Structure 1
Amino acid sequence: MKRIVIVLTAALLSLGLAQGVTIGVLAPLTGGAAGTGQALKAGVDLALAEINAAGGVLGQPLAIVLEDTKADAATGVAAFEKLMTEDGVEFIGGGYSSGVTLALVEPFRTFQPVVLWTGGAVSGIGIDGFDGIEELLGQEDWFFHVHPWDYQNTEASTAFQAYTGVQTVALLHEDSAFGGPGAVGAQALLEEAGMEVLLREAFKSTLSGGTGDFRAAISKAAATGAEMLYWIGYDSDVVPLTSQVRELGYRPQYIFGAPPGWPSEFDAAPEAQCVTGLIGFLPNMPNPEAKQFLDAYVAMHNSQPDNYFAAIGYAMLWAYADAINAAGSTDQAAVIAALEQGTFRSPMGEWGFGPSVQAKHQGFGAEMWNVFQFQNGVRELVWPVERATAPLISCN
């Protein structure tokens, strides 16, 4: 009997390996954040092709099951539960939107798969009485946060704004779990750096049901005479907000936006000229890993990546593949250990997981960020200076 049990166990293990590893990926493929979700998918698709060309995972082709969250909380929860109960995946990747991620906290805790999460940046650091995703999930052994936290985003944003030499800032932000806490943290860092925040005003994002009319908030910002207009919102807010800034004749010295992604069709629009933004990856970054990623991406997709979530998705899937191969199995404890100890590839350079203020496993930090500026239809890197492809220009 003992020999039969051993033989059956070995056979089952062999069958599991023969079937290969499947990773569930969540992304907003439709809706107001579809540009970012499709970019994430494009990066994952490229990584998947490279991983399988290199031998796959545990000797078998890696597979993914991609589910659309629509950047909607209820849809995201249903998509995750489908991956766990119908598709039977052991590993979850992707992710976008703090609101969706907050809705997933309890489902994540219920199923406890290994999660490499590329979105959901809201943290409660520096905000009294608020627990963000970092506080709610950061101590879980199975949770790995890839994207920088919002205070790491604002740390980079503040450093750029200090570099410009401006003394006054008008801060507009969308009013959900992404923009609200982010704006509180941004104001604190700006004031700590010696800048005066003349206005902090909320607006309803188009992603969360807003009409796209931001004129009231913009008019308040214009009335302050602030040298810098700084706004925090979503991809779908870029075109209407910037167009209305121009329409109302508001001409601050600098316009700085911090959405997760920038629509590609905005690049050539006249209202884009001189607008600056935070971004994690651009095709013209000077490091060799960026060039290698760009060449492979263009070969697969016949276009350049226009959203840094392509690079984040690529890095996430390669980290999973390398960690599972290093672990030698899909055993959760072994994969977690490999993720904790590993150094992984990305278009931004080598990276790995370490502790942040509250989380056990944080990937990229403030050092990932760059600032670009639209100059004559081109996204030029303008900060940090050592990565710059063009000097910063004023909007005046």
Structure 2
Amino acid sequence: MRKVLGFLALVTGLAFAQTSLKVGVILPLSGASAVSGKAALNGIQLAADEVNTAGKVRLELVVVDDGTDAAKAVPAFTKLMTVDKVDIVIGGLASGVTFALSGPVKQYGPLFLAIGAASSVVEQAFEGYPLFFHYHPWDYHNVAAALQFFQYLNREHGARKVAILYEDGPFGSAGIGVYKQQLEKLGYQVQAEPFKAGSGQFTAILTRFRAFAPDILYWIGYDVDALPIATQARQVGLRPKLIYGAPPSWPIGFEKNPLSNDIAGMTAWLPTVANPESRRFVDAYRKKYGEVTEEYMAPMGYTIVKSLALAAEKAGSADKNRIAEALASLKMNTPFGPLSFKPSDTGRTKYQGFGPEIWFQFQYLQGSRRPVFPKEVATRPLRYPGEYYLR
């Protein structure tokens, strides 16, 4: 009897070993993208807890900080490969950092599950890499969704001039020329200027924009830029009818600052999204962390881990190639809606997850983010013109 029990224990142990995954997680837990990175990690850890509780797949996470800095990211990634010996990596949030990782990823060959990195420069860098799965929409998807909103503003509200303030890294600058052309085709006059990422100094550019008298001030940067731009635009007397921001995340507590009121932006998710997977995620997140997040990187991280676990279960193996094969054909519901992988619009990415369909526009109104466009998801009407005055 002991021999039988011992044999069963051995077989059970081997079965669990086959579905045990050691997963590297490389995210910006410090630096300019830390808000997004910490939100993503919360979602990843929540999903890993759920997967481990279910028992079909066992996940061990090895987490490193890329510091939103290529110089820190490359050695952190190399450690995951050479010291921690992982075959699967979740990461790639900031575009500049992910671009820097493209060479090392190709060198070491892990299954790389990209959570962000929207710049098409990154897509070009990873072209042809067979184990690259990109979940987040690309920048041209983001542009397509934003242009629908700008077309609406032009048609329904008479907006004619856009001033674009964009950070000078890959996230902000990739495709800015094409974006400007597309806005001009919609009937806009466009003035665009770059700023040094993380500098916090916008007064000179905003003063030049004042002479242009834009209807819309559109900035592309990171969460650290939101408050300085909102403050300095008012200080120089810039009076757009709408301030529209496009960071991957917004500052924690920004909604409590009166300067946030009437500022608009784009997101892929808010806790008010009503699909069943979103409601389940919100309930689980609240139970684990004692609060609800508005950062879409949290459900994005959660979605990646859930999809990885389902693929590993389907593959019946910890082998990265078999998991990739299972992931390629996976279809699942997520807090953002349905997920499946297909070639990107350019064809450079073989396994692209979400597209422009997940984006919607919100506005900070009375201390919270309210969906305002498109009409089918709006919970409040857009305030246009907004009020952007120092009081």
Q: TM-score, normalised by structure 1?
A: 0.90
- SS for the counterpart of 2:63 is strand
The answer to whether the aligner puts 1:95 opposite 2:84 as a matched pair is no
- Alignment-mate amino acid for residue 99 of structure 1: G
RMSD: 1.8
Deviation at residue 182 of structure 1 after TM alignment: 4.1
**2:88–2:320 CA contact under 8 A, matched in 1:** no
Aligned to 2:261: 273
- Alignment-mate amino acid for residue 134 of structure 1: E
Aligned to 2:38: 38
- SS for the counterpart of 2:42 is helix
Aligned to 1:162: 151
- Alignment-mate amino acid for residue 375 of structure 1: L
Higher mean displacement: 63-72 or 165-174: 165-174
- Alignment-mate amino acid for residue 316 of structure 1: I
**1:183–1:232 CA contact under 8 A, matched in 2:** no
- Alignment-mate amino acid for residue 272 of structure 2: N
Aligned partner (choices 347, 351, 371) of residue 339 of structure 2? 351
Aligned to 2:6: none
Deviation at residue 15 of structure 1 after TM alignment: 8.7
**1:169–1:230 CA contact under 8 A, matched in 2:** yes
Cα distance in 2 between the residues matched to 1:191 and 1:144 = 34
Aligned partner (choices 203, 208, 220) of residue 195 of structure 2? 203
- SS for the counterpart of 2:30 is coil
Aligned to 1:190: 183
Cα distance in 1 between the residues matched to 2:380 and 2:175 = 29
**1:286–1:387 CA contact under 8 A, matched in 2:** no
Aligned to 2:206: 218
Deviation at residue 341 of structure 1 after TM alignment: 0.4
Cα distance in 2 between the residues matched to 1:170 and 1:195 = 10
Superposition map of 1:41-56 within 5 A: 41-56=41-56
Structure 1: runs of 5+ lacking an equivalent: 1-9, 124-131
Q: Aligned residue pairs: how many?
A: 370
Q: Deviations over 1:72-127 (max 9, x none)?
A: 0011111111111111111011221111111111101101111110122111xxxx
Q: TM-score, normalised by structure 2?
A: 0.91
Aligned partner (choices 206, 219, 222) of residue 231 of structure 1? 219
Deviation at residue 158 of structure 1 after TM alignment: 1.1
Cα distance in 1 between the residues matched to 2:18 and 2:315 = 17
Deviation at residue 18 of structure 1 after TM alignment: 6.3
Aligned partner (choices 286, 292, 299) of residue 304 of structure 1? 292
Superposition map of 1:1-396 within 5 A: 14=14, 17=17, 20-57=20-57, 61-123=58-120, 132-165=121-154, 166-197=159-190, 199-206=191-198, 210=199, 212-356=200-344, 357=346, 358-394=348-384, 395-396=386-387
**2:27–2:91 CA contact under 8 A, matched in 1:** yes
**2:197–2:221 CA contact under 8 A, matched in 1:** yes
Cα distance in 1 between the residues matched to 2:378 and 2:252 = 21
**2:131–2:324 CA contact under 8 A, matched in 1:** yes
1:353/1:101 Cα in 2 relative to 1: closer, same or farther (>3 Å)? same
Report % sequence identity: 39
Q: Deviations over 1:277-322 (max 9, x none)?
A: 1111111123222222111111111111121110111111111111
Structure 2: runs of 5+ lacking an equivalent: 1-9
The structure 1 segments of at least 4 consecutive aligned residues displaced by more than 6 Å after TM superposition are none
Deviation at residue 196 of structure 1 after TM alignment: 2.3
**1:167–1:196 CA contact under 8 A, matched in 2:** yes
- SS for the counterpart of 2:219 is strand
- Alignment-mate amino acid for residue 177 of structure 2: V
Cα distance in 1 between the residues matched to 2:98 and 2:178 = 19
Cα distance in 2 between the residues matched to 1:156 and 1:217 = 26
Cα distance in 1 between the residues matched to 2:53 and 2:374 = 36
- Alignment-mate amino acid for residue 172 of structure 1: L
Higher mean displacement: 106-115 or 45-54: 45-54
